[in-house]
Amino acid sequence: VTHRNVDFRVPTLARVEGEGALHVEVEDDVITDLRLEIYEPPRFFEAFLRGRGFGEPVDITARICGICPAAYQMSAAAALERIAGVTVDGQLRQLRRLLYAGEWIESHVLHIGFLHAPDFLGADSGLELADRHPELITDVLRLKKIGNDIMEVVGGRPIHPVNVRLGGFYRAPDQEVIAALAEPLAWAHQAAVDMVRWVAGFDFPDLRIDHEFVSLRSEDGYPVLGGRIVSDRGLDIDVSDFDAEFSEDHVAHSTALHGRRRTGDTYLTGPLARWANNRDRVPPEVDALAIELRVPAVERNPFRSIVIRGLEVLVAVIEAQAMVAAYREPDPASVPVTPTAGVGWGVTEAPRGTLVHRYETDDAGTILDARIIPPTSQNQPAIEADVRRVVEDHLVRYGRDATPEADHELQHRCEIAVRNHDPCISCATHFLTVDVRDTTSTEPEEKPR
Amino acid sequence: VNNRPAGRAIVIGVGHRDRADDGIGPAVVDALAHRTDQVVTLVREGDLAVLPLLWEADDDVVIIDAVADRGPVGQLHEIDPSRLRSGVGVSTHGVDVADAIELARRLRCTPARLRLFGITARDFGYGPMSRELHHRVDRLADELLNELGCLPDVAPGNRDHPVS
């Protein structure tokens, strides 16, 4: 019997947000090493927040990501408003949801058109895809621009919005400015349907994953702003019980913490999880389209996440249309929020998955402690597990007959397995905990890069 | 730019106003807007991936951006867009002007005429534009008007744009 060795390293993962690498090593048909290495330097946002004022995390944490800044603002606001005992509802809540819809649209279509679709169409980049399908990619860009326009109208800027504050907004957009979004959104509606049909027609590799799907579930539609944290295995908790069910651990090969269940099991947040836990919450038109395209109620093939992401774009467009039609300028643009001492958890659904914030404040509202748990940190072990499954399937399929071409294809497929979950490495690398070992008495551990 | 039979003349200033001298593109475009209505002026802060959507195929487009390490601060350079190198495709956190121009080419929506001007800047940190560059905004706007073949609509003494 000839045993096979496979050893490849992708030093810089392409078409992901941020800087990471993938290392896979197989010796005698056994996977001996498999690491999604995140080497982007830690950014210490949680440390920056200590000592800052009650209202500042909304603006500071927005700078964590240029793709999903509103998600950070919303989770920060949710946590701090909870400490203050304030509930933001009515038109102000709808306006926040509209801002978030814009972010879902721009983030998701960017991933679909430029980062993920090339994988299924034999293209090396979004540019190559633009060359081959200029009309399709132009529509993707138009969709993205509409998402950005919503963010600019509601948030004051297309990236890193400046109009969000605790209790609501600094200034409510004028009625006519919001109304002007109706026409582009009507175009976006059909474009989103067309995009879902396009991606649903791709040829997907077979793979079934069995991660626990964790997401929010709320009473007011598909989950975005708050709700309970649920899973397809019966989890149903308030976000304040997060630590009882989940852990975050440092590993040597990543500057982002690894999230796991307290049992040690992997879990997955993001579109696949939201879809599985909220299939009954989608608008009727999305439901009908999913049925027509034979999208299962629980999609366990991560390569097909692009279809779910497309359906979520349609959900966001439909919800944005409804909110634009029903918009009445809220007066005042915010409700009072008084700084106070306490501990508050906040959670919302960022495009890539569940985003948890926790703050501890003193009597003046000064931030004593901050924790931010982004979806990519939570998904890292699950992503590594997916890559492991891809390698195992490859070994079973080819055995000792694998050609160099097949092994090259394996590397490519492993990269897609990472991109399936749209990891945002830049978001994930802001952990605070750094373990320092006393190296005078023991051999030093490998240090995170 | 003037006397064209069809299409618009669009001047786009790109850069971040909160990143010191990087805001020179938007600042000069603001100054242009106060001098003439012969061109459409646009500002794009961040997210340059959608730049190709801002023009039509028969438009004349001028892009103004800050450049580093090119002579004294405030110097205006015309740059050949075809000589820029694009790196888009690796990530989307940093699509720059070169990437956006390449994307437009791939999408078959390069405008009828595309001119790219760089203005030498030094400080790309956080905060307001350096005084050194701020003082040159009006002169740069006049230089650009000359480059574009436009006569100012408003006499210098009647401009409401603050003259440094």
Write the pLDDT tens digit of every residue in A420-430: 998 887 666 64
> Is residue B158's pLDDT more than 70?
no
Average pLDDT, chain A: 90
Interface probe for B, chosen from A112, A145, A162 (most Cβ of B below 10 Å), is: A145
Q: How many CB pairs under 8 A join A and B?
A: 75
Interchain contact B109–A (C-beta under 8 A) = yes
Q: What is the DSSP letter of B92?
A: S
- Mean pLDDT, residues B142-152 taken together: 82
B53: closest chain A residue by CA: A142
pLDDT attached to residue B7: 66
> Is residue B3's pLDDT more than 50?
no
Instruction: Count Cβ neighbours within 10 Å for each residue of A123-149 and write b for 16 or more, e otherwise.
Output: bebbbebbbebeebbbbbbbbbbbbbb
Contact predicate A323/A154, CB 8 Å: no
Residue numbers in A near B92 (CB within 8 A): 17, 67, 110, 114-115, 126
Residues 6 or more apart whose CB falls under 8 angstroms from that of A137 comprise: A113, A114, A126, A129, A130, B106, B107
3-class DSSP state of A362: coil
Single pTM value for the model: 0.88
As a whole-number percent, the residues of chain B with pLDDT over 70 amount to: 82
Range of lowest pLDDT (A32-36, A208-212, A356-360): A32-36
Beta strands in chain B (DSSP E): 9-14, 40-44, 60-67, 76-79, 113-120
CA–CA separation, A392 and A413 (whole Å): 12
- Mean pLDDT, residues A91-114 taken together: 96
Q: Which two tokens stand for residue A239?
A: 């976000």
> Is residue A20's pLDDT more than 60?
yes
User: What digits encode the pLDDT tens for the residues A358-398?
Assistant: 999 999 999 999 999 999 999 999 999 999 999 999 888 88
Contact predicate A154/A100, CB 8 Å: no
Share in percent of chain A as helix, strand, coil (round to 5): 45, 15, 35
Residues 6 or more apart whose CB falls under 8 angstroms from that of A81 comprise: A87, A88, A166, A167, A337, A344, A346
Interface probe for A, chosen from B42, B53, B93, B95 (most Cβ of A below 10 Å), is: B93
pLDDT attached to residue A230: 98
User: What digits encode the pLDDT tens for the residues B27-71?
Assistant: 999 999 999 888 899 998 877 888 999 998 899 999 999 999 778
As a whole-number percent, the residues of chain A with pLDDT over 70 amount to: 92
Q: What is the ipTM of this complex?
A: 0.80
Residue numbers in A near B93 (CB within 8 A): 17-18, 66-67, 426
- Mean pLDDT, residues A172-179 taken together: 97
Reported as a pLDDT band with limits 50, 70 and 90, residue B93 is low
> Is residue A75's pLDDT more than 80?
yes
- Mean pLDDT, residues A87-114 taken together: 95
Average pLDDT, chain B: 84
Q: Bigger pLDDT: A284 or A445?
A: A284
Q: Cβ–Cβ of A15/B90 closer than 8 Å? A: yes
pLDDT attached to residue A342: 98
* Facing residue for B92 by CB, picked from A17, A145, A148: A17
Interchain contact B106–A (C-beta under 8 A) = yes
- Residue identified by tokens 């944290």 is A229
pLDDT attached to residue A297: 95
